[in-house]
Amino acid sequence: MKLVTKLMTPLAAATAIAALSGAAVADDHMSSDMTIVSWGGAYQDSQIKAYADPYLEMNDGVSITWDESSAEAVAKMRAMNEAGNVTWDLVDVTAASAMRLCDEGLAMEVDHDEILAAAPDGTSASDDFGDLIVSDCFIPQIVYSTTVGYRTDLVPEGTPEPSNICDLFDLATYPGKRSLEKRPINTMEWALLCDGVAKEDVYDVLATEEGQEQALAKLDTIRDEVIWWSAGADTPQLLADGEVFMGSTYNGRLFSAIVEQDQPIGMLWDAQVFDLDGWVIPADLPEERLARVKDFVKFATDTQRLADQAKYISYGPARESSAPLVGKHAELGIEMAPHMPTDPNNAQNTFLYNYEFWADYRDDIDAKFQAWLAQ
Amino acid sequence: MSDTTQEPMLAADGRPLKQSLARALRRQKLRALMLIAPLLIFVMVTFIIPILSMLFRSVENEIVSNTLPHTVVALQEWDSSTGEAPDENVFRHLYFDLFKASEAKEHTKLGTRLNYERTGLSSVFRTTGRRLDDMGSDFQDPLEDINENFKEGAFWYEMLSGEGGEELLESRRALWARLTGESMAGDIGFTPSPQMADMLPWATRAYTDFAIWTVIDDQDVVAEEDPWEAVYAGLAQDLQSEQTQTEIAAYDGPGAQALKDAVANLDQLPEVNFKAAFIDAKEDWGTTDLWSTMQVFSSNYTTGYFLNAVDLELTPEGVQAKPENQQIYMQLFMRTLWMALVITGACILLGYPVAWLLANLPMRTANTLMILVLLPFWTSLLVRTSAWKVLLQQQGVINDILVWLGFVGDANRLILMNNATGTIIAMTHILLPFMILPLYSVMKTIPPSYLRAAKSLGATNWTAFWRVYFPQSVPGIGAGSILVFILAIGYYITPEIVGGTSGIFISNRIAYHISSSLNWGLAAALGTILLVVVLVLYWAYDKIVGIDNVKLGG
């Protein structure tokens, strides 16, 4: 790293001289290609359409390589850092991963007001994103939530469709298989909520041994009926196949199953777990690459671009100023706002994910959870 | 004749033949070695070294002593059985160690490491890290009020720099290098004064640390930067000592006036009590649990990961079994071995007749059959596993057919996946070619005339097969079994997709620790155990069946 910076100084001087001799080389200090890491699928498509393609149109000669490794981003960045060869320029991760990368010094700390564009009305970036900046390294893009979908055609006759998160645990009224994520996060919280724990006490209870037992005991009541998923695409598939009656997944996946594919599926907006997704920049990037990334991020997270992204996927833009600009679905032409997790009608009873808690207790509770699963 | 054997035989050039031959052989061996050198180097670099370095992680534990070098030494004298947290001396070292670590952003890594052993430690280190600056500013503000010079970076530089402090500088640099894993080499334009190091040991040490970091990492000039809060805390600590106070009275070098002012106004400084400050930042520091964990895991190498991997844990009282509701690994190892055995058995049962058919049918038909065996072999593993998902699920093809035929009721569809059954079915199918191919190549070499000869001597079909044909095909079974078993034991994708919770293997846990929990030490320990198990089984196989009896090809 040190070597690179030392080499860069004479290089930068040379560029400066070159810049003096001809004005056309303004972009010389930025590298011409970028490797961006994202999640693949519909989400990555929305990023490409909403800001990567427009950015490439504006900047001739720049190219972007996409790497669909976000799911293993933390492990891979750690390995790259140890090998001393970080090949990624910009990485899309969840907020929890961003905090972890920041803690380990693998992601760059940024001054949000300096590197991000202000809102059109002049509100500074840090005010516009507000509380969603959960870490100094994290540049938020979208708000998503983990919620529950169900088969509308398999609801027993004479019973209303499920509307409460606790219907997940009510096998008497709503018989049938469930699909839940194969990790304690979210599942344990829902179990406690439905076992009578008040929303604000959930994490206090979960921090105790008895609380963990209580959550597992609640899960015991449905464990024979549960299929455990590990990929976001699993639940929509299981629902479409009729393998399960109810299951948890991300709201964007349910949106595309319900609206785009017209499956007989409904979804709950109750105690859905709010979470964030956004960019981090790897630590210690060489100057040229860093300059290019900063240029791209500033464009890609401005008010209009984040609102544009919502045309392609039903995740809420992280900027407050983007919300009024959210328009219609790019192909179906339906209003997107009512499908956003941030829409007031949907956000009446949400559950806030506690990053700090899971950072500390994840290993411990996971060991118990896995042992419980294996029993 | 006996005379000629006494004298050494000579080659054409007059040298002794033996020597000449040895030289020619050596040259030949060297040439052979050079021929395989590219491969050898390739295998070393891409295979052996990564495996060794991964295995090394399973015992490596330098992070504790690298991050908190002085604290770990001071902590050795503490006895956890007293039931009380360590004394002020340990906390004092902890403050200065941790301050450095938090500047370099290394303290959270230590927290993560210790959190593997004791839940909650990660947050202790993170919360405390945020409070370290405040602990120092408590001294910085009054000191700056006492004498304005303390605000100036240049003043500190002049006061603490001198000639002959290279030894201190280098020892601090070495500690930085251990902490950050970088060399931290280079001229920093500062050497501490040995006189000040005697008089103000804590402040000088903290300032030297600050100087190294400022120049090497931040690439600033020491004299122009305001020192860290830790330097002020160091000075406050030094001023407590009566010896320092008398030395300051007699001192007339740079900064003498400011130091004398500080001694005169000592009552304006808050009490120096790092222990209270740490407990105030996070009360866990006052408990023995945290410290005993740190003491147990302060050595550079640890058995902790291996103990975890077999459901044990290291406590101050020695090795103990983990609480029952956290024991998972032994069960997973056993299940992995058991299911790999079942899969191997199923492969033998299904593969043997197919291989026999292939070996005994006329060439044209055998070739068509062979393609049927090889076609799935060439298909992507992921595709085949996903296909099994479609077949096995409750609304899947197999259940649909069974319901249609009336074997099972619509309400009682069989549960064929997301459990051990699913894993066994899918993996048997996927690994079947590894059994059929070696079996086929062995059976091809058994002359059909042997069977005919046995029958013509009066053997029944069964005796002819069992006494004549089968023994000759055993090497093929051995080879196929080894292949299938060893491949099965490390399988990951198929159990992950169709295994649910009761059909997953130990490798799924290893993958989890590599990519999700980032507990690479534990993953390495589990991997090492798996490797050893395979080697032991291989050795046992060699002892019982004999590895020479294995034939992988005709």
The topology (CATH level 3) of B329-549 is: MetI-like fold (1.10.3720)
pLDDT in tens, B262-301: 999 988 888 899 999 999 998 889 999 899 999 999 999 9
Burial A260-289 (b: 16+ CB within 10 A, else e): eeebebbbbbbbbbbbbbbbbbbbbbebbb
| A22 band by pLDDT with thresholds 50, 70 and 90 | very low
**Strand-strand pairing, A265-267 and A139-151:** antiparallel
Burial of B244 from C-beta contacts in 10 A (0-12 / 13-18 / 19+)? buried
Please report the pLDDT score of residue A17 as a whole number. Answer: 42
Give B250→chain A minimum CA distance, Å: 44
Rounded to whole angstroms, the Cα distance separating B89 from B84 reads 14
Say if B108 is an interface residue toward chain A (CB within 8 Å): yes
What is the H or E stretch that residue B431 is in? helix B420-443
- What's the confidence (pLDDT) of residue B316? 83
Identify the pLDDT of residue B6: 63
Whether residues B108 and A75 touch (CB distance < 8 A) is answered with no
Residues 6 or more apart in contact with residue A217 via CB below 8 angstroms? A195
Query: Residue B238's Cα: distance from chain center in Å?
Result: 42
Tokens of B30: 């060297």
Residue A22 phi/psi, 5° resolution? -155, 135
Query: Phi and psi dihedrals of A150, rounded to 5?
Result: -150, 160
Q: Give the pLDDT score at A284.
A: 87
Q: E-strand spans in B278-420?
A: 312-315, 318-321
Cβ contacts below 8 Å, chain A against chain B, sum to 76
Count how many residues are written for chain A. Answer: 375
Residues of chain A neighbouring B502 (CB-CB closer than 8 A): 374
- Report whether B104 contacts B179 (CB < 8 A): yes
Per DSSP, the three-state class of B20 is helix
Torsions phi, psi of B549, nearest 5? -80, 0
pLDDT of residue A2: 41
ipTM of the complex: 0.80
Residue A352: which H helix or E strand, with range?
strand A350-352
Which chain B residues contact residue A177 at CB under 8 A?
394
Of the candidates B122, B509, B515, the beta carbon closest to that of A359 is on: B122
At residue A32, what is the residue type? S
Kindly report, as residue ranges, where domains of CATH 3.40.190.10 are found in chain A.
Answer: 31-137+276-339, 144-271+349-374
- Cα dihedral sign, B510-B515-B517-B520: positive
The CATH number fitting domain A31-137+276-339, selected from 3.40.50.740, 3.30.390.30, 3.40.190.10, 3.90.1150.10: 3.40.190.10
Query: Quick check: A85 contacting B, CB < 8 Å?
Result: no
Instruction: Please give the pLDDT value at position B218.
Output: 84
Determine what percent of chain A is predicted with pLDDT higher than 70: 93
- Check residue B301 and give its pLDDT: 93
pLDDT score, position B51 = 86
Domain A144-271+349-374: CATH architecture, name and number where available: 3-Layer(aba) Sandwich (3.40)
| B518/A366 Cβ within 8 A | no
3-state secondary structure of B227: coil
Alpha-helix residue ranges (DSSP H) falling in B147-264: 153-160, 166-180, 194-199, 201-212, 229-239, 242-250, 256-264
For the beta carbon of residue B257, count every other beta carbon within 10 angstroms.
11
Please say if the pLDDT value at position A24 is more than 50. no
Structural domain boundaries in chain B? 2-57, 69-296, 329-549
Q: What is the rounded CA–CA span in Å between residue A3 and residue B245? A: 45
CA nearest to A180 within chain B: B500
Give pTM, 2 decimals.
0.84
> What's the pLDDT score for residue B553?
54
Distance of residue A141 Cα from the nearest chain B Cα, in angstroms: 22
Nearest to B105 among A71, A105, A373 (CB): A105
Q: CB under 8 Å to B298, separation ≥6 — which residues? A: B64, B65, B72, B75, B76
3-state secondary structure of A133: coil
Q: pLDDT tens for residues A239-261?
A: 999 999 999 999 998 998 999 88
Is B274 in contact with B236 (CB distance < 8 Å)? no
Q: Which residues of A touch B500 (CB under 8 A)?
A: 227-228
Q: What is the per-residue pLDDT for B5?
A: 54
Task: Tokens for B542, please give them.
Answer: 């060699």
Reported as a single tens digit per residue, the pLDDT across B38-47 is 999 999 898 8
Counting beta carbons within 10 angstroms of the beta carbon of residue B124, is it exposed (0 to 12), middle (13 to 18) or buried (19 or more)?
Answer: buried
- Residue of chain B minimizing CA distance to A372: B325
Which residues numbered 268-297 in A keep a CB inside 8 Å of some CB on B? none
B410 Cβ under 8 Å from any chain A Cβ: no
How far apart (Å, rounded) are the C-alpha atoms in residues A264 and B92? 65
Q: Which of B305, B515, B519, B526 to mutate to test the interface with A (most CBs of A within 10 A)?
A: B515
Cβ pair A243, A127 in contact under 8 A: no
Can you tell me the distance from the alpha carbon of A312 to that of A50, in angstroms, rounded to the nearest whole number?
Answer: 8
Work out the end-to-end distance of chain B between its first and last CA atoms, rounded to an integer number of angstroms: 49
CB contact under 8 A, B328 and A75: no
Mean per-residue pLDDT, A64-75 = 90
Beta carbons of B526 and B511 less than 8 angstroms apart: no
Q: Which of B100, B107, B115, B336 to mutate to test the interface with A (most CBs of A within 10 A)?
A: B115
Calculate the alpha carbon distances from A136 to B103, B175, B527 in Å.
Answer: 15, 28, 36
pLDDT value, residue A41: 81
Distance CA B127, CA B319 (A): 30
pLDDT under 50 in chain B at which residues? 1-2, 554
User: Is A355 an 8 Å CB contact of chain B?
Assistant: no
